[in-house]
Amino acid sequence: MTDPLALFDEWLAEARAAEVNDPEAMALATAGADGQPSVRMVLLKGHGPQGFVFYTNAESAKGTQLAENPRAGLLFHWKGLRRQVRIEGVVEAVGEAESDRYFSTRGRDSQLGAWASDQSRPLDERATFERRFDDAADRFAGGDVPRPPHWRGFRVVPEQIEFWSDRPHRLHERRLFTRDGDGWIEGLLYP
């Protein structure tokens, strides 16, 4: 049996070496209380035995959906390698200190953008957002930009991880790992 987290590390390392654009990009699928699915691309910002971490505005559409239904699916698609990884699991908030640490590594304009944006809400015109960005820049001029209280990390704690490899004639290989207590059960799926 293979450890799916170690296998993911191997595949991600290969993707970082081979993929031209954003090998850490992953599709994040969520659904709110109404069950309506929604999917968008986000960036993987950390991973390990505890799960797969991304950051966002907790008041955004995805943040609201995760508050209503704390389950999500992730998909990494590395077209050049002809591979993908699907992850499904429960979502938990990342701690304040961890969110602060990551926020401090972001570029200043990205930090200011987190203050300026009411992510996912209607915007009357681009100039409004640009004005809010300038206001945030003035507010924090000459100092560090603190993490906004609504901006945080989320961790997808995997219950299932599927590794998909392309094979000729659509005879693909699909390896499914399902969490079993502290370990994993490995199986195969038909293509």
Who's near 70: CB < 8 A, 6+ residues apart? 90, 91, 92
- Read off the pTM: 0.94
> 170 catalytic, yes or no?
yes
Of the listed 83, 126, 167, 170, which one is catalytic?
170
pLDDT in tens, the chain (191 residues): 589 999 999 999 999 999 988 999 999 999 999 999 999 999 999 999 999 999 999 999 999 999 999 999 999 999 999 999 999 999 999 999 999 999 999 999 999 999 999 999 999 999 999 999 999 999 999 999 999 999 999 999 999 999 999 998 988 999 999 999 989 999 999 99
Domain for residue 84, yes or no? yes
Domain for residue 111, yes or no? no
Domain for residue 123, yes or no? no
Domain for residue 139, yes or no? no
Domain for residue 116, yes or no? no
- Longest CA pairwise span in the chain (Å): 60
Domain for residue 159, yes or no? yes
Strand partners, 183: 180
CATH number at residue 155: 2.30.110.10
CA–CA distance, 66 with 36 (Å, rounded to integer) = 12
pLDDT at residue 156, rounded to an integer: 98
What is the Rg, in whole angstroms, of the alpha carbon atoms belonging to the chain? Answer: 19
Domain for residue 114, yes or no? no
CA–CA distance, 70 with 72 (Å, rounded to integer) = 7
Domain for residue 66, yes or no? yes
What domain range includes position 75? 4-106+149-189
First-to-last CA distance in the chain? 20
- Total domains in the fold of the chain: 1
